[in-house]
Every structure is written in C-alpha cells, then in structure tokens.
C-alpha cells in the first residue's frame, strides 16, 4: 500500500468519525488544568525508549549536534562554541522560549531559523536546509539543553502571531473541510484507526517518530497533518508555519520540554 493511499484512507476515516459524531459545536480550547503531553498516551515500550538516553534514537542526533557545535564553519572560521561556549550553560532554557520575537524582522523566528541566522550573519556560512541532517542535529542538541524546563511564552510582542496561529488551528481547510482543533481540542480523548488523538502540545521537538525512522521538526509534523486533511501545505519557514508553532508553544506554556522525545 502506497503512502498516499494510506493517508487517503486515514483522511476518509477521520471524516467519517466527525460525521458520525455530529461535530457542529464551537471549538473550545483545552483548559490549562487538563493539558496532557503526548507522552501520556504512549505505550510502555515507547515510554521506556524515551526515558532511557541509551535507548532513545534521538540521542544520536544530539551527539552529531554536539560535534557540529564545536566545528568551525563559514568564512569567519568560527564555531557555535566560540560565541556561546558551553551549550549546557548558554543554551539552557533557550529552546523553551522559541519561537521568539526578532526585532530586526518584526516577527517571530523558530529555533531552526535562529540557527540559520547565526550561520549566515555570524559565521558567514550557507544556511542549512529544513529537515537536513545537520540542521536537525544542531536543533536537537540545543533543544536537549532545555529538557525538563517549562515552556515559556510571555513576550507580549508575540500576541498577534499567536492569534494568527490560533486562526489557522481552528480554521477548516482542505478537501475534507477539517480543522486541527476538531482532532486535538474536541476529540483528543478518542481514537483514530486505533491510535489515540493527542492534544498536539509540541513538548518533544525535534522528535523521533517510529513511523519516520528518523528525527524531524514540528513543521514536518504539521505538514503531515495537512496532507491527511488534503489541504495546501505551508512552506517550511513560512509565516503560517511559524505562527502555528508560536500558537502551539503558547498552548503548551508551563509544560516541560521533553526533546528529543519519541513518538509512534
């Protein structure tokens, strides 16, 4: 069975689920007191894989990222460590605050974009492609330094972008005329094709998905959902993608960062 056919079947099943449930009510965001990480929906084996760094496949990207952190790049001949020294100290809590507002751009940038800004503006090196091995490794390494810390989203300058992300999250789109909120707000207690529908809190990104057999970014996961909805994809790094990230991280404020997490 092709990947496209599998997604089409899942999308059809999702549409049937909503039709039978008669979902015509207004969307209601999950209360802060009821928020649950996707970790809570994992089976015993997957939890054990995430909890043990020697078994967590995402740690391979952390090791690669550590090597890149100390590798000189670009015509500046500088490594990340030359400016930021020990990542365990300088990067502690950083990933928990992204996407963050960039005054020079008048908009939020996500962690991947910040790494590329440093590369192009500080190291005089080419930017790294989204989902490339090196960008995922560096992002995972930086995110790992914030594991266990609470996600923060208190910058008032982010508010307009949070609202844009909220609009995208609750807007019906695609051939199936579905919204993200129909799964992750209204029906997170239900199952689709035997799999639990979670609350979509991005606590573990970059994340190792067993389905992918590799690590991937939050934007890759968002694009997967859009494919399932048969909707137009947002480009990597687009204002729409970053706005959705910003909104989702705001929804998860106060929850602990788990990166690199493991999911089915």
Give the mean model confidence (pLDDT) for residues 121-133.
Answer: 97
Secondary element (H or E) of residue 208: strand 207-209
Cα distance between residue 154 and residue 91, in whole Å? 19
Cα distance between residue 249 and residue 153, in whole Å? 7
Could you give the C-alpha distances from 153 to 62, 78, 150, in angstroms and in order?
25, 31, 10
Nearest 5°: the CA angle 237, 248, 202 is: 90
pLDDT in tens, 165-186: 999 999 999 999 999 999 999 9
Cα distance between residue 50 and residue 262, in whole Å? 5
Active site residue 80: no
CATH number assigned to the domain covering 3-20+30-52+151-263: 1.10.760.10
Confidence of residue 20 (pLDDT cuts 50, 70, 90): very low
Provide the whole-model pTM.
0.89
Domain boundaries of the chain, sorted by first residue: 3-20+30-52+151-263, 59-144
Task: Give the chain's mean pLDDT.
Answer: 91
Cα distance between residue 104 and residue 107, in whole Å? 8
> In DSSP terms, which residues pair with 207 in a beta bridge?
216, 261
Q: Class of 59-144 per CATH?
A: mainly alpha
Could you give the C-alpha distances from 243 to 109, 125, 211, in angstroms and in order?
9, 27, 26
- Give the active site residue among 80, 118, 183, 225: 225
* Confidence (pLDDT) at 21: 41
More confident residue, 192 or 83: 83
């Amino acid at each position: 069975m092709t990947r496209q056919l599998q997604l089409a079947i899942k999308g059809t099943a999702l549409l049937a689920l909503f039709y039978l449930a008669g979902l015509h009510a207004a969307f209601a965001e999950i209360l802060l007191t009821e928020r649950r990480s996707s970790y809570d929906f994992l089976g015993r084996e997957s939890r054990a894989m995430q909890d043990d760094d020697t078994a967590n496949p995402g740690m391979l990207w952390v090791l690669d990222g550590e090597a890149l952190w100390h590798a000189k790049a670009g015509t500046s001949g500088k490594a990340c460590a030359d400016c930021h020294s020990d990542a365990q100290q300088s990067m502690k809590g950083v990933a928990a605050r992204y996407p963050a507002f960039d005054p020079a751009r008048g908009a939020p940038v996500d962690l991947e974009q910040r790494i590329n800004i440093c590369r192009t503006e500080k190291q005089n090196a080419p930017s790294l492609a989204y989902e490339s091995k090196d960008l995922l490794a560096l992002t995972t390494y930086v995110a790992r330094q914030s594991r266990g810390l609470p996600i923060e989203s208190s910058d008032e300058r982010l508010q307009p972008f949070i609202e844009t992300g909220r609009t995208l999250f609750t807007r019906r789109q695609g051939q199936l005329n579905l919204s993200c909120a129909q799964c992750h707000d209204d029906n997170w207690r239900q199952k689709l094709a035997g799999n639990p529908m979670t609350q979509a809190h991005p606590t573990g990104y970059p994340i190792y998905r067993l389905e992918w057999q590799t690590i991937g970014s939050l934007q890759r996961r968002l694009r997967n959902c859009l494919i399932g909805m048969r909707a137009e994809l947002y480009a990597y790094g687009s204002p729409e993608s970053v706005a959705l990230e910003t909104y989702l991280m705001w929804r998860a404020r106060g929850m602990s960062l788990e990166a690199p997490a493991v999911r089915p």
